[in-house]
Structure 1
Amino acid sequence: MSVAETRPSSDGGHMALKSALTGEFMNATWRLQQWLTEPNNPRSLSARARAKRWREFISRFPDLSAMRVLDLGGLPSFWRTVPQHPAQVVTVNIADAEVTAPWLRHVVDDACAPNSLRGERFDLVVSNSLLEHVGGYARRRALASVIHEYADLHWVQTPYRFFPIEPHWAFPGMQFLPVRLQTVAARHWPLSHGKAPDHHNAVDAVLGTELLSLTEMRLLFPKSTIWHERVLGLTKSLVAVQDRPASPA
């Protein structure tokens, strides 16, 4: 028997160690994702933030149950799960959705130009995490005009550009990286809500997400109060709130 045959092979040990470390990394990643972004975990950071946001929303609009609400960019599924629903909700989204309640109505349309709603009026316009996805400042300005046109009151939430963790991919500082590196993160970062299947989809997702600053929110909603939704003392989201009719200019 040769020396080579009697010497313990290190390849198997290295592979076992690599597999163990990979498993530990994936377990740690899963636990971190559960804590940060898992919507079905009531103790997750995002779930607690949503609960806090809802409490603030209800405190601003205590008569919600009597209101007719327009939700731009939303879906009926959100309103079916809230603790208190309005008298009527119309959701507008480019995606179709099932409606299972008589007080809900869904419209497939462009939230920045909802032609199918012409002539309608609402008590309140709501928009959550849409502003950053509509595609450029001109489109955001068009969305703001729609919000002002359809109701005197509004609640418009968007993630804050300078929160240290990019909210869609849960990647620290991703919004400040070159596009090339952002696309790599969009494809491979394990904490993201949904990994892009290929390079082109990753580029579309990255370039289709433009987080807003406080300055831009004030430009779009000059008469609104800007509420800072905070996590660990840092502003995570900005919400433009008009909870009473604005005074005439």
Structure 2
Amino acid sequence: MSITSVLAKRFSNYDNQQSVGSKLRTKRIAPLLEMIDDVFNKHGKVSVIDIGGSEQYWGIVPLQYLTERHVKITVVNLPGSRLPPDHGPFRFVESDGCDLARFGDKSFHIAHSNSVLEHVGDWQRKVQFVKELERVSQAYFVQTPNFWFPIEPHFMTPFFHWLPAPARIWLVRHFKLGHFEIAESVGDAVMLVEHAGLVTNDMFRYLFKDARILTERFFGLPKSFIAVKK
């Protein structure tokens, strides 16, 4: 097992509430929990759309907390995703985050998205993703990794995302990096390299002009950005 694979497991093992990733997420979502409390106090219930999310992610929030506040979470993932049956506070729906036409305007109290913006595609799709997220929600909480943080969070390799595309393609064809096995072909390698398009602070602020932007830091370095609109 490669060093980057070990790091990926230690940082991204969200089944373990003591892992670095879980601890960071628990601290990160404090503003989200404040939003949920505010909505519950006003409406007596809370509807959340989690775009590109998972039930596993919400394991950092006690089920009792969600139940007491009558939180209903609609988890949206791409068509073809293996979605579990609806249960508890969770409803699972297939849809493209850049085209949420099945949902009406302002039909959710809160839109939530964690480490998804970088995966939706090129800049045009990022803009469309944000437009749809803002359209279907009254408030939102959106997080994405920082391009200028030195460790790429998916490949868990220092400076990987700063290298030219041909160099990244060569690396994923020859090494296990982070969450990924060695690519079997050039085509697979290109798809992996294009898997995530990280954004800078300026890009993020442009996308979320009406939001308060928070910066999550790791050892003093800006690791990711969070857009919060209440």
**TM-score scaled by length of structure 1:** 0.78
1:89 to 73, 87, 96: 73
Q: Residue 73 of structure 1 contacts residue 127 of structure 1 at CA under 8 Å; is this kept in 2?
A: yes
8 Å contact kept, 1:158–1:237: yes
Report how many residues are paired. Answer: 218
Partner of 1:15: none
Give yes or no for contact 1:166–1:173 (8 Å, CA) kept in 2: yes
In structure 2, the CA distance between the partners of 1:40 and 1:188, relative to structure 1 (3 Å rule), is: farther
Q: Is the 8 A contact 1:166 1:175 kept in 2?
A: yes
The answer to whether the Cα contact below 8 Å between 1:224 and 1:240 also exists between their aligned partners in 2 is yes
Structure 2 CA distance for partners of 1:203 and 1:28, relative to 1, 3 Å = closer
Is 1:205 the equivalent of 2:192?
yes
Shift of residue 188 of structure 1?
4.2
Partners in 2 of 1:135 and 1:163 — Cα distance? Answer: 20
Contact 1:35 1:43 in 2 (8 A): no
* Alignment CA distance shift 1:191-1:55 (3 Å): farther
CA deviation map 1:130-183 (0-9, x unaligned): 111111111111111111111121001111100010000100011110112212
CA separation of 1:130 and 1:99: change in aligned 2, threshold 3 A: same
State which structure, 1 or 2, has the greater radius of gyration over its C-alpha atoms: 1
RMSD: 2.4
1:186/1:202 contact within 8 Å kept = yes
Instruction: Mark the CA change 1:113 to 1:228 in structure 2 (over 3 Å): closer, same or farther.
Output: same
- Aligned residue in 2 for 1:57: 32
The amino acid across from 1:53 in the alignment is R
CA deviation after TM superposition for structure 1 residue 234, in Å: 0.8
| Equivalent residue number for residue 23 of structure 2 | 48
Aligned equivalent of 1:231: 218
CA contact 2:172–2:183 (8 Å) conserved in 1? no
In 1, are the aligned partners of 2:176 and 2:182 still within 8 Å (CA)?
Answer: no
The percentage of aligned residue pairs carrying the same residue is: 30
Post-superposition shift, 1:193?
0.9
Gaps of 5+ in 2: none
Query: Deviation of residue 231 (structure 1)?
Result: 0.7
Name 2:47's counterpart in structure 1. 68
Which 10-residue stretch deviates more, 165-174 or 84-93?
Answer: 84-93
Instruction: Give the secondary-structure state (helix, strand or coil) at the position aligned to 1:76.
Output: coil
Q: Is the 8 A contact 2:47 2:71 kept in 1?
A: yes
Residue 102 of structure 2 aligns to a residue in which SS? helix
Which residue of structure 2 aligns with residue 159 of structure 1?
Answer: 145
